[in-house]
Amino acid sequence: MPTRPLSPHLSVYRMSRYTLATSIANRFTGLALSLGLLLLVYWLMALAGGARSYARATHLLALPIAKLVYAALIVAFCYHLVAGFRHLVWDTGHGLERAQSQRSAWLVVAASLVLMLVIACRAWLTGAHAP
CA 76 to chain centroid: 2
Work out whether 11 is an interface residue with another protein (CB under 8 A). no
Quote the CA–CA distance of 84 and 57 in Å, as a whole number.
Answer: 32
CB nearer to another protein: pick between 82 and 105? 82
Work out whether 122 is an interface residue with another protein (CB under 8 A). yes
Question: Residue 62: what are its φ and ψ, rounded to 5°?
Answer: -105, 5
Q: Are the C-beta atoms of residues 60 and 66 closer than 8 Å to each other?
A: yes
Q: Are the C-beta atoms of residues 33 and 77 closer than 8 Å to each other?
A: yes
Question: Residue 8: what are its φ and ψ, rounded to 5°?
Answer: -80, 135
Quote the CA–CA distance of 68 and 47 in Å, as a whole number.
Answer: 22
Work out whether 31 is an interface residue with another protein (CB under 8 A). yes
Work out whether 64 is an interface residue with another protein (CB under 8 A). no
CB of 122 to another protein, least distance (A): 5
Q: Are the C-beta atoms of residues 105 and 99 closer than 8 Å to each other?
A: no
Q: Which of 12, 15, 48, 65 binds another protein (CB under 8 A)?
A: 48
Q: Are the C-beta atoms of residues 108 and 22 closer than 8 Å to each other?
A: yes
CB of 91 to another protein, least distance (A): 6
- Stretch near another protein under the rule CB under 8 A, chosen from 12-20, 38-46, 96-104, 105-113: 38-46
Q: Which of 13, 21, 34, 103 binds another protein (CB under 8 A)?
A: 34
Judged by the rule CB under 8 A, the positions of this chain that interact with another protein are 1, 6-8, 27, 30-31, 33-34, 37-38, 40-41, 44-45, 47-51, 54-55, 77, 81, 84, 87-88, 91, 119, 122-123, 126, 128-131
